[in-house]
A = this chain, B = another copy of it.
Amino acid sequence: MRTSCRFAMAVHVLAVLAYKDGDGVTSEFLARSVNTNPVVIRRLLLALQEARLVETRKGAGFGSRLSRSAARINLGEVFRAVEQDEAFCLPRKKPNQACPVGHCIQTALAQVFGSALRALEQDLARTTLADVLKMVHECCHEPSTTGKA
């Protein structure tokens, strides 16, 4: 399985917004933290806006901030906001409809995929953005960051 990086980037962006706790953060600042282009960030923010996870304002001195507290945003929502298209993909070419298995397999796979996706989202929903922020803080305050690994 290969996911797009959008989910990872989205969590990163939201973690920065949580870290900045209410201050407006520009797409350029976010881009420097993620190490990418501001336009990529803005595209991502559009999806997060639609899902009502962030609020964005144009104009001097603004940018984006969380629209709820970090404790009330879970990663299941983030996943849905950002990976709306089908998570599992089917082969490009349609299977051979003359073969009984080829004719029916996609229906069967749809069921399997649907269930797996629900399980995935449910697990993600158990972690909130506040949990992520806590992990970040713990990692930052670790005494030795110079170990060999």
Contact = CB atoms under 8 A, between A and B. Distances in A.
Contact of A93 (B36, B85, B89): B36
Contacts of A107: 135, 139
A133 to B, nearest CB: 9
B108 A3 contact: no
Contacts of A99: 16, 32-33
Report whether over half of chain A's contact residues are helix, strand or loop; otherwise say mixed: helix
Nearest to A103: B140
Contact of A2 (B2, B100, B112): B2
A34 interface: yes
Contact of A111 (B92, B103, B135): B135
Interface residues of A, number: 60
B120 A36 contact: no
Given A91-B35, A93-B36, A105 B3 contact: no
Copies in the complex: 2
Interface in A77-114: 79, 83, 85, 87-96, 99-105, 107-109, 111-112
A71 interface: no
Given A35-B95, A96-B33, A99-B32, A139 B104 contact: yes
Contact of A105 (B94, B102, B136): B136
A127 interface: yes
A115 B123 contact: yes
Interface centre among A1, A3, A9, A126 (most CB of B within 10 A): A1
